[in-house]
Structure 1
Amino acid sequence: MPDLSGHVVFCEDIRSELGDQVSYIGVYPRNRGTFEVDDDGDIVLSRFALACYLAMPVEFKGESPSLTITQIDKNKREKQIASEILPEIPDRSEREVVTAMLHFQFQGVLAKPSDIIVVDLSVAGETARIGSFRFAPKKPSAGSSKPDETNP
């Protein structure tokens, strides 16, 4: 079977604009974000968005592709956080691939440092990982430290 492909833009927000334009706000350029860690050891994001661009060969015509977004922790435990089944791939014999675009927007994302978000595209028993994102703790800047509360 031919290869599935795609890519994902990870960002803070996606906005629909006039004239069929889309704006990506706060794009994470290396599929990795560094974030402040709270007192419980968590990373809390008020907003997190994914723009998924898919390319599916026309040989999959009549099949319904699915997209799955999964969060994986450091112990390799997986938690599905979103999925979408798309309409059947149409017969476009004049083309080599059929393309699609999906946007996902989440509010109140909770993650641990080293958690990973992966995006998988599946059609007719074939699966391709089209994107992954790693949460990383922000390193303290040089010379900064928490105040010593025992010695005011």
Structure 2
Amino acid sequence: MEEPYFLINSTVRTLKILEYLSKKKEASVSEVSSYLNVNKSTAHRFLASMKHVGFVDQNSENQKYKLSLKVFEIGNRVVEGLNLREIAKPVMHELSDLTGETVNLGIIDNYDVVYIEKVLSKNTLRQDCPIGGRDKIHATALGKAMIAFKPSEYVEKYVEKKGLI
């Protein structure tokens, strides 16, 4: 696919690093370099810039990089802006009171369930998915309920991309 002429490559690469680090606990300069298909000095400059503005932290023991809490804070502000949470919260409380169980609210993003709200069960033993956390659609009751109402083409594409393991 041809990229639009107006893209700023350094911005695209920075955002790709954010996405890459979101899928890994930590990554070295070499790993980021390979992922972006750039030389190590370029990858290092990107990571150093991201560290300077607070989007990544560097592990002093192994020199690897990881996302900072600043990214988490920004993500939470995005979730807070979703009006769906406000609308669903009273219904979720009612359902939790009725069943005595935890109730999760999620959206499907890139073939994953992303948790955007929860009401925890009052039981000592309970499920507690972090808001902003991701799970495979087929691995959760919420995901299964959501995918049940998707067109069969979507389900086929999901199985092709993610598998069922």
TM-score above 0.5, yes or no:
no
Between the two structures, name the one with larger relative contact order (CA 8 Å, sep ≥ 6): 1
Higher strand share: 1
